[in-house]
């Protein structure tokens, strides 16, 4: 599966648009991570526990989006973007979305 944030793929021609595909996940913070994060805010710097949590969430959202595109018969997803929102005080949603397409090599 080819993935891109642009609306074209170099060396490829889009032969069919299959529609929007998406994948999301909602993750809650972990109590233990919150304690470490609170301590880290005292001294400053990156809160690595949350960085790792968000990276895992993005990957899961991407995987789900790719799965949805595969079910449609796509071999590429163009114009990929991410959105995030707070669901409740300790939970956030990551949404990955794009356009599923079928591409072929340019002749």
Give the CATH number, domain containing residue 83.
3.30.110.70
Within the chain, strands assigned E span: 2-3, 12-28, 76-88, 91-105
Q: Is the pLDDT of residue 33 over 70?
A: no
CB count in 10 Å sphere of residue 12: 18
- 35 pLDDT band, cuts 50/70/90, is low
Number of domains in the chain: 1
Task: Quote the pLDDT of residue 92.
Answer: 87
pTM for the complete prediction?
A: 0.84
**How do residues 41-55 score in pLDDT, each as one tens digit?**
666 677 777 888 889
User: Mean of the pLDDT values across residues 17-43?
Assistant: 76
* Structural domain of 73: 2-105
Beta-bridge partners for 88: 91
């Amino acid at each position: 599966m080819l993935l891109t944030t642009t609306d074209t793929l170099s060396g490829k021609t889009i032969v069919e648009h299959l529609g929007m595909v998406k994948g999301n996940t909602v993750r809650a913070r972990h109590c233990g991570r919150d304690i470490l994060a609170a301590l880290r805010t005292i001294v400053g710097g990156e809160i690595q526990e949350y960085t790792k949590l968000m990276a895992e969430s993005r990957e899961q959202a991407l995987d789900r989006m790719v799965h949805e595109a595969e079910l449609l018969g796509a071999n590429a997803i163009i114009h990929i973007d991410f959105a995030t929102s707070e669901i409740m005080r300790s939970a956030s949603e990551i949404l990955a979305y794009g356009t599923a397409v079928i591409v072929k090599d340019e002749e």
